[in-house]
């Protein structure tokens, strides 16, 4: 079966994932809310906020009410994600906001801030803890189960990247450095730029990703499409809601997003990892009008993806039957990725 739907290239409306990383106090949360507000068309009710930081997001509850150009009495929506911060719980938090409707007929959230996704990697129940707690082998041969941990992280990433809403993940950063002796005393010396605390490829999975400095006034661009550089690639000056609104207008110039179609497609995408039989079961539950909206060509590409997941799962089962030596080989390969 052909796995690609090949069509003439045209710019289309799309959902963005914009990562903001930085040390504590460098303006990640404030910038993310302002960017989200503009990206949502200055409609606070279309902005959602997942808070893993012990209710710190509520400190910003009134910043839109006091907005310098577009003040509002409306508040953005916020929800606390409590530990454990497993990839599955973090993914479900995104799904919950994708499905959230304040009232009947409400179109729901258009932009979602996730502060911070570092917890999914380094927090209680996160990827690093999973690798250690689900370690393979015993005694001297005991080793972190990175195969399982990275598999679960990839499942989280699939949900993040296929969200119905634009997502702005905030990522903590850690200072790199080393201790050295100066006049008989130990001092910490900075060694290079801070590093985002997430899986090492995370920042490059984003549509755009920035490192925040000087309380948000300056940024280092890690990744940014040329079309978004006027708004996210200046490197000097605060990121504002006006930048978010300009991005919104640029996106809409490529056509409005068909919300119902994209929601259906994203939901089906998330089911392909369970294999072809499961995917087809989900497809058969759709009404004929929904199947038509998804499209035959798109449906066939997802069938091909689901079959590939089946093959990967079968390969993993064969590897597991190979014992410790095979498991060591898989873990070494994944660790090196």
Q: What is the pLDDT of residues 108-132, one digit of tens each?
A: 999 999 999 999 999 999 999 999 9
Q: Are strands 177-182 and 166-174 parallel, antiparallel or unpaired?
A: unpaired
Q: Which of 38, 11, 31 is nearest to 247 (CA)?
A: 38
pTM of the entire structure? 0.77
Averaged pLDDT, 287-305: 85
Is-contact 194 173, C-beta < 8 A? Answer: yes
Give me the pLDDT at residue 308, please.
Answer: 82
Question: What gap in Å lies between CA 117 and CA 192, rounded to an integer?
Answer: 23
Question: Which of 274, 297, 76, 279 shows the shortest CA–CA distance to 165?
Answer: 76
Question: What was the pLDDT predicted at 177?
Answer: 61
Q: Which two tokens stand for residue 267?
A: 């939901």
Average pLDDT on 184-205 reads 80
Sorting pLDDT into bands at 50, 70 and 90, what band is 242? very high
User: Average pLDDT, stretch 249-272?
Assistant: 76
Stretch 281-310: mean pLDDT, rounded?
85
Taking the C-alpha atoms of residue 166 and residue 159, their distance in angstroms, rounded to an integer, is: 12
The whole-number pLDDT of residue 336 equals 47
Instruction: Look at residues 300, 302, 227, 299 and name the one whose alpha carbon lies nearest to residue 14.
Output: 227
Determine which of 59-63, 138-142, 238-242 has the lowest per-residue pLDDT on average: 138-142
- 3-state SS of the chain is CCCCCCCCCCCCCCCCEEEEEECCCCCHHHHHHHHHHHHCCCCHHHEEEEECCCCHHHHHCCCCCCCCCCCCCCCCEEEECCCCCCHHHHHHHHHHHHHCCCCCCCCCCCEEEEECCHHHHHCCCCHHHHHHHCCECCHHHCECCHHHHHHHHHHHHHHHHCCCCEEEEEEEEECCEEEEEECCEEEEEECCCCEECCCCCHHHHCCEEEEEEHHHCEEEEEECCHHHHHHHCCCECCCCHHHHHHHHHHHHCCCCCCHHHHHHHHHHHCCHHHCHHHHHHHHHCCCHHHHHHHCHHHHHHHHHHHHHHHHHHHHHHHHHCCCHHHHHHHHHHHHHC
Give the residue-averaged pLDDT of 22-45: 95
Q: Where are the domains of the chain?
A: 18-257, 258-337
Q: Is residue 264 scored above 90 in pLDDT? A: no
CA distance 51 to 186: 37
Report the pLDDT averaged over residues 288-315: 83
**Statement: 18-257 belongs to CATH 3.90.350:** no
Q: What is the pLDDT of residues 135-167, one digit of tens each?
A: 888 877 789 999 999 999 999 999 999 898 999
Query: Do 57 and 64 meet the contact criterion of CB atoms below 8 Å apart?
Result: no
Look at the block and give the residue holding tokens 């809409």.
Answer: 252
| Band of pLDDT at residue 18, cut at 50, 70 and 90 | very high
> By percentage, how much of the chain surpasses pLDDT 70?
86
> Can you say whether the dihedral through the CA atoms of 138, 141, 146, 148 is positive or negative?
negative
Sign of CA dihedral 12, 77, 158, 28: positive
Which position has the higher pLDDT, 119 or 299? 119
Please say if the pLDDT value at position 60 is more than 90. yes
Close Cβ partners of 221 (under 8 Å, ≥ 6 residues apart): 208, 209, 210, 229, 232, 233, 235
* CA–CA distance, 232 with 228 (Å, rounded to integer): 6
33 φ, ψ (degrees, to nearest 5): -65, -45
Beta bridge partners of 23: none
């Amino acid at each position: 079966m052909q796995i690609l739907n090949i069509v003439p290239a045209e710019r289309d409306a799309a959902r963005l994932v914009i990562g903001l990383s930085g040390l504590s106090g460098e303006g990640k949360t404030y910038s993310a809310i302002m960017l989200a507000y503009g990206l949502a068309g200055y409609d606070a009710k279309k902005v959602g906020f997942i808070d893993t930081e012990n209710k710190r997001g509520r400190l910003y509850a009134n910043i839109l009410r006091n907005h310098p150009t577009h003040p509002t009495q409306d508040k953005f929506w916020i929800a606390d994600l409590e530990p454990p911060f497993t990839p599955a719980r973090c993914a479900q938090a995104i799904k919950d906001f994708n499905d959230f409707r304040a009232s009947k007929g409400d179109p729901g959230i258009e932009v979602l801030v996730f502060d911070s996704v570092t917890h999914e990697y380094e927090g209680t129940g996160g990827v690093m803890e999973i690798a250690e707690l689900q370690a393979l082998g015993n005694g001297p041969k005991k080793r972190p189960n990175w195969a399982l941990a990275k598999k679960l992280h990839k499942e989280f990433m699939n949900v993040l990247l296929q969200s119905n809403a634009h997502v702005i993940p905030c990522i903590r950063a850690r200072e790199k450095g080393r201790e050295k002796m100066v006049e008989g005393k130990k001092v910490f010396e900075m060694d290079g730029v801070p590093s985002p605390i997430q899986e090492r490829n995370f920042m490059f999975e984003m549509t755009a990703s920035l490192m925040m400095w000087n309380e948000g006034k300056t940024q280092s661009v890690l990744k940014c499409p040329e079309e978004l550089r006027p708004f996210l690639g200046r490197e000097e000056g605060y990121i504002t809601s006006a930048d978010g609104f300009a991005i919104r207008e640029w996106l809409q110039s490529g056509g409005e997003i068909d919300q119902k179609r994209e929601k259906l497609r994203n939901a089906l995408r998330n089911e392909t990892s369970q294999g072809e039989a499961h995917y087809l079961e989900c497809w058969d539950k759709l009404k004929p009008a929904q199947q038509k909206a998804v499209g035959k060509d798109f449906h066939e590409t997802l069938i091909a993806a689901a079959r590939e997941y089946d093959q990967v799962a079968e390969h993993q089962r064969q590897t597991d039957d190979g014992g410790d030596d095979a498991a060591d080989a898989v873990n070494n390969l994944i660790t090196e990725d």
